[in-house]
């Protein structure tokens, strides 16, 4: 299956190096329309002015975590259906469960490559209908 490669994607991470890595991985897959924010608050501000097809966010950020951002997005009727992939260095079961309960679309544990990112994105966008 093919993605809409013109779809705008928002990458949220407090490490500019990680933003650059994710941006490069997305470019390898074929995405060019990528914005970034360095924390959840900045991401929410960007979402007020632009509709994103996907949010890829780190979990551990200050002052607003990716988990808090996910909860804000899911609580906002205008944003609640936006696919949301959480990225974290921690694979704690309780974090995965909390993210699932909060409505995360998928979850990626660092480190990862373009193939992993693409697979996780395909699972979000091309889930078989039940």
Q: For residue range 54-91, list pLDDT tens digits in order.
A: 999 999 998 999 999 999 999 999 999 999 999 998 87
Omega of the bond leading into 111 within 30 degrees of 0 (cis):
yes
pLDDT at res. 22: 97
Domains observed in the chain: 9-124 (3.40.50.2300)
Percent of the chain as helix, strand, coil, to the nearest 5: 45, 15, 40
Cα(2)–Cα(19) distance, rounded to whole angstroms? 24
Cβ partners under 8 Å of residue 14, min gap 6: 38, 39, 58, 60, 61, 62
Cα(98)–Cα(101) distance, rounded to whole angstroms? 5
Q: How far is CA 121 from CA 37, 48, 94, 125, in A?
A: 20, 23, 22, 6
Average pLDDT of span 29-44: 96
Please say whether the beta carbons of 79 and 25 come within 8 A: no
pLDDT at res. 90: 81
b/e 2-14 (16+ beta carbons within 10 angstroms → b): ebeeebbbbbbbb
The tens digit of pLDDT for each residue in 12-24 reads: 999 999 999 999 9
pLDDT band at 1 (very low <50, low <70, confident <90, very high): very low
């Amino acid at each position: 299956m093919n993605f809409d490669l013109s779809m705008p994607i928002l990458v949220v991470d407090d490490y500019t190096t990680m933003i650059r890595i994710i941006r490069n991985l997305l470019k390898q897959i074929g995405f060019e329309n990528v914005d970034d924010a360095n924390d959840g608050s900045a991401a929410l501000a960007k979402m007020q002015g632009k509709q994103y097809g996907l949010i890829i966010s780190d979990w551990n950020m200050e002052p607003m975590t990716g988990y808090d951002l996910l909860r804000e997005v899911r609580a906002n009727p205008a944003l609640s259906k936006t696919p949301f992939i959480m990225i974290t260095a921690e694979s704690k079961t309780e974090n995965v469960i909390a993210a699932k309960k909060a409505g995360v679309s998928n979850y990626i544990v660092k480190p990862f490559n373009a193939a992993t990112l693409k697979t996780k994105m395909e699972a979000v966008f091309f889930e078989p209908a039940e």
